[in-house]
């Protein structure tokens, strides 16, 4: 089976994706993809990710944050990885996968705690509180409405 490849020859699934990041059949209209080579300044990254979260596009926010994780300075990798994992945890809630959501949100909270004090006016306490509420809802088996899946990245 031949895999989709980008111009550099790296494996890249070219299939369109839905708003939750799930692949759609070829030729189906989907949500605009985030370029893999996206490089933004930290403030631009956080603003872009926040807009995507506000629009219910946690998977796309994850891709923006992951780009910062992969292209940013080594000293900030845990920070960006934690933020990307946070967005993936939200994506798992949107997809109805509570186990995956718990795992990723717990990892995200740990990564962000390890990166304290957080730079770029990030609201570490607010993100932890938001994640803890989501984790409590998941543990109790409560339905989590979309409006509860929009964390504020900055205070």
Q: In this structure, what DSSP letter does residue 3 have?
A: P
Q: Which residues, including other chains, have CB under 8 Å from residue 38's CB and lie 6 or more apart?
A: 63, 64, 67, 71
Burial class (CB in 10 A: 0-12, 13-18, 19+), 92: buried
- The domain 42-149 is placed in CATH, from the list 3.20.20.100, 1.20.140.70, 2.40.50.140, 1.10.3450.10, at 1.10.3450.10
Task: List, for residues 19-71, the tens digit of each pLDDT value.
Answer: 998 898 888 888 888 987 899 999 999 999 999 999 999 999 999 999 999 99
Residues forming CATH 1.10.3450.10 domain(s) in the chain: 42-149
What whole-number percentage of the chain has pLDDT above 70?
Answer: 92
Task: List, for residues 67-91, the tens digit of each pLDDT value.
Answer: 999 998 999 999 999 999 999 999 9
In whole angstroms, give the CA distance from residue 108 to residue 73: 19
Residue pair 4/14 in contact by the 8 Å Cβ criterion: yes
pTM for the whole structure: 0.89
């Amino acid at each position: 089976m031949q895999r989709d490849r980008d111009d550099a020859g790296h494996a890249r699934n070219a299939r369109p994706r839905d708003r939750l990041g799930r692949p759609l059949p070829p030729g189906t209209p989907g949500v605009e993809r985030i370029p893999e080579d996206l490089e933004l300044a930290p403030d631009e990254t956080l603003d872009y990710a926040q807009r995507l979260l506000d629009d219910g596009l946690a998977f796309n926010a994850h891709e923006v944050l992951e780009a910062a994780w992969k292209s940013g300075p080594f000293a900030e990798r845990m920070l960006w990885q934690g933020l990307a994992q946070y967005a993936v945890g939200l994506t798992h809630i949107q997809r109805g996968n509570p186990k995956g959501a718990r795992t990723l949100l717990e990892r995200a909270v740990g990564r962000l705690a390890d990166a304290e004090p957080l730079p770029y006016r990030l609201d570490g306490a607010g993100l932890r509180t938001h994640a803890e509420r989501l984790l409590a809802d998941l543990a109790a088996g409560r339905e989590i409405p979309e409006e509860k899946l929009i964390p504020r990245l900055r205070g």
